[in-house]
A and B are shown apart, each in its own frame.
Chain A
Amino acid sequence: MSESVSALGGASFDGFVAVREIGPLGMISLRVKPGVAGLDRAIREVVGTGVPAQRRIEVLGDRAVAWMSPDELLLILPYRDTETAMATIGSMLAGQHHLAAVVSDARAVFRIEGAKADQVIAKLCPVDMDRLAEGEVRRTRAAQVAAAFWRQGEGVTLVCFRSVAPYVMGLLKHSAMVGSELE
């Protein structure tokens, strides 16, 4: 069986922060209304956390669940575990109106690491980084394309669509060049 490859094969760039493409990560888009019977249990089972509140991301080890909209969650987990997770979700939400879809391959994921990671985001996303709360996930745009990001460790994890991965890598490289620090 062939391995799934990420969009850029783990490309990286060292500027005033380190940028690297990671993944592929397992991702499941789960459309469901909050409070649906079995949802809490399904998230607990698959991710190990509770259901995130509005604009929040719950992280536990290499798994996470992010609030994407009033009726959409994004589950993040090891790539190989999506099939099991889909089965778990399917059984726990059986009979409840929901839609779960694996979107691992539809995405590209970047890590922007370093003390000044926020500055790279501030050049590309119209987001008030000072006011970004701990554990907050932000759906926004990076220059001309849709993106989502959250702070994790010393840095930021940014997700975009796979087809624009080279563009986003280009943006990140341009914005992370040494000498262009904002402060």
Chain B
Amino acid sequence: MSTRLARGGRLIDRTKAVGFSFNGKQMRGFAGDTLAAALLANDQMLVGRSFKYHRPRGIVASGAEEPNALMNMGVGGRFEPNQRATTTEVFEGLRATSQNHWPSLEFDVGVVNNLAARFLPGGFYYKTFMYPRAAWKHVFEPIIRKSAGLGRAPKGHDSDRYEQAYAFCDILVAGGGMAGLQAALTAGQAGKRVLILEQTAHWGGRAIIDGDDAAREWIAATVQALGAMDNVRMRLRCMAAGVYDHGYVLADEKVADHTPGDGRPKHRLWRIRAERIIAATGAIERPLSFAGNDIPGVMLASAVRDYVVGFGVSPGDRTVVVTNNDDAYHTAIALVEAGLAVPCIVDARAQASGALVDRARALGIRVEQGRAIAKVRGGKRVTGVALCMQAGEGAILAEIACEAVAMSGGWSPVVHLWSHCGGKLVWDEAQGHFRPDATRPPTGHDGAGMVVCVGAANGEGLAQPEPVWIMPQGAGTALKTKMWLDYQNDVKVSDVQLAAREGYESVEHTKRYTTLGMATDQGKLSNINGLAVLAGALNSTIPQVGTTTFRPPYTPVVFGALAGESRGEIFQPMRGTPIHAWHEAHGAYFEPVGLWRRPYCFPRGGENHAQAVEREILNTRANVGLLDASTLGKIIVKGPDAGRFLDMLYTGVMSTLGVGKCRYGLMCNENGFLSDDGVVIRLSEDSWLCHTTTGGADRIHAHMEDWLQCEWWDWQVYTANVTEQYAQIAVAGPKARKVLEALGGIDVSAEAMPFMTFADGVLGGMPVRVHRISFSGELSYEIAVAAGQGRALWDRLVEAGAAFGVMPYGTEAMHIMRAEKGFVMIGDETDGTVVPQDLNLGWAISKKKADYLGKRGQERAYLARADRWKLAGFETLDGSVIPDGAYIIAEGMNGNGQRNTQGRVTSTYYSPTLKKGIAMGLIVGGLDRMGDQVEFNTVAGGTVRARVVDPVFYDKEGVQQNV
């Protein structure tokens, strides 16, 4: 039985009891406990079932390397799967449940997999589920995922909030143990800006447990000294998760994991730019591979020490220590000093000597040299061990009853932060571990090493083990199939050896074939043992086999922290016009246009969207409509060379445009493809205002600056993107003029303001610019007003327009009305492969200009070809609407057995004005095909017949817009 000791526990506060539950069972712990410590204090040794075989699993470690004790934590909006009990601080009301078992942790039917283990060897899935191919997705994978797996993903919204923060420092110290504290102190005293991070809730690392009083005093004094330095910042519960280029580090701070619901952010992701990174990340103890090393009660020797000394928890009355190095003797001594029994230290080395060994012997602890554990007795918990000779094959020499086994296979430096950005490792034969190769560090922006490992992370001060990769060394198959390498993914010594026999030589391939080190712990315990076994099986050496790649994050980081503040209302910036609130108040149905939300239509009463759109169009054509066109891009272009510049940017001529006049223009990219369009107005002798599409505002401004800064840097032109300075409202319809006249102030008569002109003035008391332009085909004014007065103007127009039947219309009505007029839309008629000539827009291309952007591209043979798909209108014979994206089919099949095509639809709508389906599209021959009948494919299969017609369906003469 594991239990709480009467005394001791350097990390806990015995005056503060804490109640929590595990699988519904109420338990008690102390403040300062990790959940793992508190579970052991309550004799909960069995904490989960293994991934594949559903074997009983207990707590193995005491830190981030823990593979087994993964819990479902919390409930409802605070439910989180796969939380490590060893790094979770216990708090009042904590609710944890175990994972991967059914129907219960104690009785799990999946354990039949364990009995069938010989039928589930490494690569089993690859070998078994090959055929039929489709079955993988629909049959095998769902079943396997159900039977093998860890926690379930949460289904509801996360109740907590998260945030991110930026930090900058000269020296980032990852790890708050003695090495890290010393590094921070040195750097701090040298005046460097220091940030020191510690993943646990206390400073001092292992020295709190293993150090003497002097060490602990030094820690307290150093923490105090650092805290007093203005240039040093310290953060507990903050793990450096990954190192990236140029000293960029991500760190995950568990701000409120242990105080849920207190209103603080649960996690904070730090985005740190550090000049230099000091990795004081310590080392991780390795398990030993003996049969039954996964039975609950078998733990790392250092973890046993942590529980006894740090938390005052006994793993059991009798603990057998098994080791290949001196370090585990610390554990035996600690146990005995705590009043517990150590029946035996099983030392695999033929000769054990040294100060620690002597001290253990002096305490009367039996030390068996050259011995090994043949097997661990027990099922859901350890009941004893059988000893054998390490040199032999496992013949049992003795049985020892015990409740726990403390194992130590030596230590591996935590080199993750060193390796994330390319730092290389060297195999230290004497130390039996990979450590950083100081001659090949990850390099920063200046070419110098940007990470330095110190202390145990650099392989310093670790006990020298004798290489023991399999225990006993001559173990047969029966034992090796019970020697776990990777606890979390259920990979055994026999699996890796099988992979080697089957021809896997690369460690990266073996990893994927056996899934060694691929679980959430990323092989923190299993990696070195696994590749040592592989090296042995390949008759190679460990450095020759090499390691797998270390990738960030060091331990899993929750998505919430990565998303930070980007949730809910602020998931993404949502742009709204100055009139947005009115739209919302009037039931607008919005559509996203880039990051803008624009009203698609304004349904009234019980209308559906199609009915609303129809009403809006008919009303605009009969009376007057209002469109919020504020999102259109508006860019001022000014300077002595502005005219010349615009003549290069647009296919038409803008330099000759008269002041006060408007002209429609097309912009192409260098390859000749149509990129944007809009109305350009000339403000003064040397300044123009270019309207762009909504999506083009920033893009075209950047395009202009690109050409001005990189190519025509000596041209005297300035641009200013004033898109958001103005609200812009289109007043369109036969009664538009009457509405403006009702507001009064500016003369909008046909004589004073003819089509394609503009004027500055006052309308309803507001300074405005009125443009007489039309995208709907009706008499139309686009009124620009300072954004801060946009809503006021809109309200006035609604009010004044009431007498004339004014109604707002949305983007869909706008789209349909322009299609009825045969006006092209960037993004509908264009897709980056269309030149203006394809759209019969030759009239907007100057033939006289020597050059413009896109001219040479358009002269290339492919783009100038006569048989390109060109714009035409289409009407179905039955009046139906051609489906979006439909192709015009042609005779025969292509090389892929697909039907040949001769064109496609680009815009297709039901026209409320014409009471039938209308469409624009591209077809070989374009307008030359007028009168032809063609067939469009449909989504449902089959085709729909249509006639090629003029794309201007409504008011071809332009009578409506010219009144």
Does A105 lie within 8 Å of B726, measured CB to CB? yes
Asked if A145 is at the interface (CB within 8 A of a chain B CB), the reply is: yes
Complex contacts, B687 vs chain A, CB 8 Å:
99
What's the nearest-Cβ distance from chain A to residue B18, in Å? 21
Does B161 lie within 8 Å of A163, measured CB to CB? no
Complex contacts, A97 vs chain B, CB 8 Å:
639-640, 716, 718
Does A122 lie within 8 Å of B720, measured CB to CB? no
Asked if A35 is at the interface (CB within 8 A of a chain B CB), the reply is: no
Complex contacts, B233 vs chain A, CB 8 Å:
183
* Proximity string of chain A (120-142) to chain B, C-beta cutoff 8 Å, 1 when within and 0 when not: 00111111101100000000000
Does A2 lie within 8 Å of B765, measured CB to CB? yes
When the two chains form the complex, which single residue of A98, A125, A131, A145 contacts B166, counting CB atoms closer than 8 Å?
A: A125
Complex contacts, B575 vs chain A, CB 8 Å:
161, 163-164
Known A-B contacts A2-B766, A174-B161, A179-B262; A122 and B166 likewise in contact (beta carbons under 8 Å): yes
Provide the bound-state CA to CA distance between A105 and B787, in Å. Answer: 5
B814-854 residues at the A interface, CB under 8 angstroms:
none
Residue ID in chain B nearest A4 by CB atoms = B788
Complex contacts, B719 vs chain A, CB 8 Å:
31, 99
* Proximity string of chain A (4-24) to chain B, C-beta cutoff 8 Å, 1 when within and 0 when not: 111100000000000000001
* Proximity string of chain B (774-799) to chain A, C-beta cutoff 8 Å, 1 when within and 0 when not: 00000000000011110111000000
Complex contacts, B724 vs chain A, CB 8 Å:
105-107, 161-163
Provide the bound-state CA to CA distance between A177 and B264, in Å. Answer: 8
Does A1 lie within 8 Å of B167, measured CB to CB? no
Does A106 lie within 8 Å of B722, measured CB to CB? yes
Does B565 lie within 8 Å of A162, measured CB to CB? no
Known A-B contacts A31-B720, A126-B166, A162-B578; A171 and B565 likewise in contact (beta carbons under 8 Å): yes
Asked if B165 is at the interface (CB within 8 A of a chain A CB), the reply is: yes
Complex contacts, B297 vs chain A, CB 8 Å:
none
Complex contacts, A71 vs chain B, CB 8 Å:
718
Known A-B contacts A101-B636, A122-B167, A145-B573; A130 and B193 likewise in contact (beta carbons under 8 Å): yes
Complex contacts, B22 vs chain A, CB 8 Å:
none
Provide the bound-state CA to CA distance between A12 and B565, in Å. Answer: 19
What's the nearest-Cβ distance from chain B to residue A136, in Å? 15
Most buried by B among A32, A145, A167: A167
Asked if B569 is at the interface (CB within 8 A of a chain A CB), the reply is: yes
What's the nearest-Cβ distance from chain B to residue A130, in Å? 7
Does A163 lie within 8 Å of B725, measured CB to CB? no
A156-183 residues at the B interface, CB under 8 angstroms:
161-164, 166-167, 170-171, 174-175, 177-180, 182-183
Provide the bound-state CA to CA distance between A179 and B193, in Å. Answer: 25
Provide the bound-state CA to CA distance between A63 and B718, in Å. Answer: 24
Does B788 lie within 8 Å of A5, measured CB to CB? yes
Complex contacts, B262 vs chain A, CB 8 Å:
179
Asked if B265 is at the interface (CB within 8 A of a chain A CB), the reply is: yes
Residue ID in chain A nearest B726 by CB atoms = A105
Does B787 lie within 8 Å of A106, measured CB to CB? yes
Does A177 lie within 8 Å of B718, measured CB to CB? no
Most buried by A among B273, B687, B724, B791: B724
Known A-B contacts A101-B720, A170-B570; A2 and B638 likewise in contact (beta carbons under 8 Å): no
Asked if B930 is at the interface (CB within 8 A of a chain A CB), the reply is: no
What's the nearest-Cβ distance from chain A to residue B928, in Å? 45
Provide the bound-state CA to CA distance between A144 and B264, in Å. Answer: 23
Number of interface residues of B (CB under 8 A): 54
Complex contacts, B573 vs chain A, CB 8 Å:
143-145, 164, 167
Provide the bound-state CA to CA distance between A166 and B787, in Å. Answer: 15
A1-57 residues at the B interface, CB under 8 angstroms:
1-7, 24, 29, 31-32
Provide the bound-state CA to CA distance between A108 and B569, in Å. Answer: 18
When the two chains form the complex, which single residue of B570, B578, B720 contacts A143, counting CB atoms closer than 8 Å?
A: B570
Asked if B611 is at the interface (CB within 8 A of a chain A CB), the reply is: no
Asked if A59 is at the interface (CB within 8 A of a chain B CB), the reply is: no
Most buried by A among B264, B576, B578, B718: B718
Residue ID in chain A nearest B576 by CB atoms = A163
Provide the bound-state CA to CA distance between A101 and B638, in Å. Answer: 10
Asked if B893 is at the interface (CB within 8 A of a chain A CB), the reply is: no
Does B720 lie within 8 Å of A167, measured CB to CB? no
Residue ID in chain B nearest A170 by CB atoms = B570
What's the nearest-Cβ distance from chain B to residue A128, in Å? 4
Asked if B574 is at the interface (CB within 8 A of a chain A CB), the reply is: yes
Does A166 lie within 8 Å of B576, measured CB to CB? yes
Complex contacts, A32 vs chain B, CB 8 Å:
718
Known A-B contacts A6-B788, A104-B786, A130-B168; A163 and B596 likewise in contact (beta carbons under 8 Å): yes
Residue ID in chain A nearest B161 by CB atoms = A174
Asked if A102 is at the interface (CB within 8 A of a chain B CB), the reply is: yes
Residue ID in chain B nearest A103 by CB atoms = B725
Provide the bound-state CA to CA distance between A131 and B275, in Å. Answer: 14
Complex contacts, B569 vs chain A, CB 8 Å:
166-167, 170
Does A143 lie within 8 Å of B636, measured CB to CB? no
Provide the bound-state CA to CA distance between A61 and B792, in Å. Answer: 31
Does B725 lie within 8 Å of A102, measured CB to CB? yes
Provide the bound-state CA to CA distance between A101 and B574, in Å. Answer: 26
What's the nearest-Cβ distance from chain A to residue B721, in Å? 8
Known A-B contacts A130-B168, A163-B576; A98 and B788 likewise in contact (beta carbons under 8 Å): no
Complex contacts, A174 vs chain B, CB 8 Å:
161, 163, 565, 570
Complex contacts, A4 vs chain B, CB 8 Å:
786-789
Complex contacts, A104 vs chain B, CB 8 Å:
725, 786, 788
* Proximity string of chain B (750-770) to chain A, C-beta cutoff 8 Å, 1 when within and 0 when not: 000000000000000110000
Complex contacts, A123 vs chain B, CB 8 Å:
163-166, 565
Residue ID in chain B nearest A145 by CB atoms = B573
Complex contacts, B564 vs chain A, CB 8 Å:
143
Complex contacts, B578 vs chain A, CB 8 Å:
7, 105, 162
Does A99 lie within 8 Å of B636, measured CB to CB? yes
Provide the bound-state CA to CA distance between A166 and B572, in Å. Answer: 11
Does B725 lie within 8 Å of A182, measured CB to CB? no
Most buried by A among B640, B720, B793: B720
Complex contacts, B164 vs chain A, CB 8 Å:
123
Residue ID in chain B nearest A174 by CB atoms = B565
What's the nearest-Cβ distance from chain B to residue A9, in Å? 10
Residue ID in chain B nearest A125 by CB atoms = B166
Does B566 lie within 8 Å of A29, measured CB to CB? no
Complex contacts, B636 vs chain A, CB 8 Å:
99, 101
Does B263 lie within 8 Å of A178, measured CB to CB? yes
Does B576 lie within 8 Å of A175, measured CB to CB? no
Does A180 lie within 8 Å of B722, measured CB to CB? no
Complex contacts, A7 vs chain B, CB 8 Å:
578
* Proximity string of chain B (248-271) to chain A, C-beta cutoff 8 Å, 1 when within and 0 when not: 000000010000001111001001
Asked if B723 is at the interface (CB within 8 A of a chain A CB), the reply is: yes
Residue ID in chain B nearest A27 by CB atoms = B725
Residue ID in chain A nearest B167 by CB atoms = A122
Known A-B contacts A99-B639, A123-B164, A125-B166; A2 and B792 likewise in contact (beta carbons under 8 Å): yes
What's the nearest-Cβ distance from chain A to residue B139, in Å? 43
Asked if B577 is at the interface (CB within 8 A of a chain A CB), the reply is: yes
Does B596 lie within 8 Å of A99, measured CB to CB? no
What's the nearest-Cβ distance from chain A to residue B620, in Å? 26
Complex contacts, B264 vs chain A, CB 8 Å:
179-180
Does A179 lie within 8 Å of B263, measured CB to CB? yes
Provide the bound-state CA to CA distance between A32 and B789, in Å. Answer: 29
Does A167 lie within 8 Å of B574, measured CB to CB? yes
* Proximity string of chain A (49-77) to chain B, C-beta cutoff 8 Å, 1 when within and 0 when not: 00000000000000000000001000000
4 further A-B pairs in the complex, CB-CB below 8 A; given A2-B792, A29-B720, A175-B163? A4-B788, A105-B726, A125-B166, A177-B263
Interface residues of B (CB under 8 A from A): 161, 163-168, 193, 233, 255, 262-265, 268, 271, 273, 564-566, 569-570, 572-578, 595-596, 636, 638-640, 687, 716, 718-720, 722-726, 765-766, 786-789, 791-793
Would you list the 10 A-B pairs with minimal beta carbon distance, nearest first? A4-B788, A99-B718, A163-B575, A105-B787, A106-B724, A170-B570, A128-B168, A106-B725, A31-B718, A167-B573
Q: Would you give 18 A-B contacts (Cβ < 8 Å), ordered by A?
A: A2-B765, A32-B718, A99-B636, A99-B720, A101-B636, A101-B722, A104-B725, A105-B724, A105-B786, A106-B787, A122-B166, A123-B163, A123-B164, A126-B271, A143-B566, A162-B724, A163-B724, A179-B265
